């Protein structure tokens, strides 16, 4: 049966998720502080109506915002959504957040008779639009059951990682540690190669077929070759996400020096004014420090 769903946050990932829900036949509302995105989604078939007016009809809410603070504001802020939801509705929270925060949100939702699924996502904007995400999910069986139709619409793979919130966000932190480090390392390797006469396009051609490759290398290095830093995932994501990783590591008395080094490169990129560019733009930090000219830049 079609669900009535709201996607909160129509950025690159949230917009694709909303499209996937719509394509699966669900009545889908899209909401964002950028009204242009809302109007664009409605022009593609998204349902109209103010959030306050439709909240009581929603079967599912997918929250695809930036961080824990925004997630909590959507759910329990001054215009918080959870008190307006009908009993048995499910919140699917997709932002990268600390596991303790996910557990707190689950408890607060349960107190209102609403299910909560700790459901961080991976796969990028293209897979989001294809309904082919990987979702690292944790929550009570009732939450999984309530979200089943939405998970079917948005995910290629759903990992059921636990019967309460927390493990999904823990696994996402592990993934983000690797993903952030891989992007920074790709940028370091590509620009190091340039100092030795290895052109960026040669780097991609060869290393993507060798043991030093990674999914992030194969996905992001072509952005550098093309000189196209249109953000699919922005530099600004990484100070937040790697910061969460390091906060969790600190609480576990765990040293994560490679993560810390990668974080500094993204902070440097943001400091250069590159925060809104694609995260492959971290290569510009290395290029500037080495006096290199990347593709698409003036010599």
Q: What's 47's domain CATH number?
A: 3.40.50.720
Q: Which two three-digit tokens encode residue 47?
A: 């349902």
Has residue 272 been placed in a domain? Answer: yes
Q: Could you give phi then psi for residue 164, rounded to 5 degrees?
A: -150, 160
Q: Could you give phi then psi for residue 79, rounded to 5 degrees?
A: -110, 35
Compute the half-sphere exposure of residue 207: CA atoms within 13 Å on the CB side of its CA.
Answer: 24
Has residue 296 been placed in a domain? Answer: no
Question: CA separation (Å) from 178 to 51, 123, 165, 185, 217?
Answer: 36, 14, 22, 10, 12
> What percentage of the chain carries pLDDT values higher than 90?
97
Same domain, residue pair 138 and 177: no
Asked if 126 and 17 count as a contact pair (C-beta separation under 8 A), the reply is no
Same domain, residue pair 137 and 16: yes
Same domain, residue pair 88 and 182: no
Same domain, residue pair 141 and 212: no
Distance of CA 213 to the CA centre of its chain: 22
Same domain, residue pair 212 and 265: yes
Has residue 255 been placed in a domain? Answer: yes
Same domain, residue pair 146 and 182: no
Distance of alpha carbon 177 from alpha carbon 147, whole angstroms: 27
For residue 1, what pLDDT is reported? 80
Q: How many CB atoms lie within 10 A of CB 123?
A: 18
Has residue 178 been placed in a domain? Answer: yes
Same domain, residue pair 160 and 67: yes
Has residue 48 been placed in a domain? Answer: yes
Query: Could you tell me which residues come within 8 angstroms of residue 250 by beta carbon, excluding any fewer than 6 positions away?
Result: none
> What percentage of the chain carries pLDDT values higher than 70?
100
Distance of alpha carbon 184 from alpha carbon 152, whole angstroms: 33
Write out the residue range of the structural domain in which residue 13 sits.
Answer: 4-165
Same domain, residue pair 227 and 125: no
Has residue 297 been placed in a domain? Answer: no
Has residue 299 been placed in a domain? Answer: no
Q: Which two three-digit tokens encode residue 225?
A: 């070759």
Domain boundary among 165, 180, 200: 165
- Counted domains in the chain: 2
Q: What is the pTM of this model?
A: 0.93
Return the closest-CA partner of residue 120 out of 163, 166, 65, 169: 169
Q: What is the pLDDT of residues 89-125, one digit of tens each?
A: 999 999 999 999 999 999 999 999 999 999 999 998 8
Same domain, residue pair 28 and 157: yes
Residues identified as active-site = 172
Domain boundary among 130, 165, 200: 165
pLDDT at 299 over 80: no
Task: Return mean pLDDT, the chain.
Answer: 97
Distance of alpha carbon 128 from alpha carbon 106, whole angstroms: 24
Return the closest-CA partner of residue 14 out of 78, 68, 62: 62
Domain boundary among 165, 188, 205: 165
Q: What is the pLDDT of residues 8-24, one digit of tens each?
A: 999 989 999 999 999 99
Same domain, residue pair 111 and 219: no
- Give bridge partners of residue 158 from the DSSP assignment: 135
Consecutive H or E run containing 4:
strand 4-8
Same domain, residue pair 130 and 29: yes
For residues 176-198, give the mean pLDDT. Answer: 98
For residue 101, what pLDDT is reported? 97
What is the pLDDT confidence band of residue 208, given thresholds at 50, 70 and 90?
very high
pLDDT at 171 over 80: yes
Beta strands in 126-215 (DSSP E): 133-137, 155-160
Q: What is the pLDDT of residues 20-33, one digit of tens each?
A: 999 999 999 999 99
For residue 137, what pLDDT is reported? 98
For residues 236-263, give the mean pLDDT. Answer: 96
Has residue 295 been placed in a domain? Answer: no
Q: What is the pLDDT of residues 27-50, one digit of tens each?
A: 999 999 999 999 999 999 999 999
pLDDT at 219 over 90: yes
3-state secondary structure of 276: coil
User: Domain of 228: which CATH number?
Assistant: 1.10.1040.10
Same domain, residue pair 126 and 208: no
């Amino acid at each position: 049966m079609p669900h009535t769903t709201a996607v909160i946050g129509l950025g690159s990932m949230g917009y694709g998720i909303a499209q996937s829900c719509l394509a699966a036949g669900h009545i889908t509302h899209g909401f964002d502080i950028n009204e242009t995105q809302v109007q664009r989604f409605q022009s593609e078939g998204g349902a109209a109506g103010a959030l306050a007016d439709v909240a009581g009809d929603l079967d599912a809410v997918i929250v695809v915002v930036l961080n824990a603070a925004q997630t909590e504001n959507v759910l329990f802020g001054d215009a918080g959504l959870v008190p307006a939801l009908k009993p048995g509705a499910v919140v699917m929270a997709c932002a990268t957040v600390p596991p303790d925060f996910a557990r707190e949100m689950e408890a607060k939702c349960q107190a209102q008779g609403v299910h909560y699924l700790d459901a961080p996502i991976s796969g990028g904007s293209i897979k989001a639009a294809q309904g082919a995400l990987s979702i690292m999910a944790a929550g009570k069986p009732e939450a999984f059951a309530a979200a089943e139709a939405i998970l079917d619409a948005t995910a290629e793979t759903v990992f059921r990682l636990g019967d309460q919130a927390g493990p999904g966000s823990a696994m996402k932190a592990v993934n983000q540690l690797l993903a952030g480090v891989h992007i920074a390392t790709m940028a370091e390797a590509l620009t190091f190669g340039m100092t030795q006469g290895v052109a960026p396009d040669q780097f991609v051609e060869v290393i993507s077929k060798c043991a030093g490759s990674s999914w992030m290398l194969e996905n992001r290095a072509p952005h550098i070759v093309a000189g196209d830093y249109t953000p699919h995932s922005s530099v600004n994501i990484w100070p937040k996400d790697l910061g969460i990783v390091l906060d969790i590591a600190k609480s576990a008395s765990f040293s994560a020096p490679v993560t810390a080094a990668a974080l500094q490169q993204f902070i440097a990129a943001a400091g250069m004014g590159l925060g809104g560019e694609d995260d492959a733009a971290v290569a510009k930090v290395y290029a500037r420090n080495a006096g290199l000219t990347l593709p698409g830049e003036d010599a």
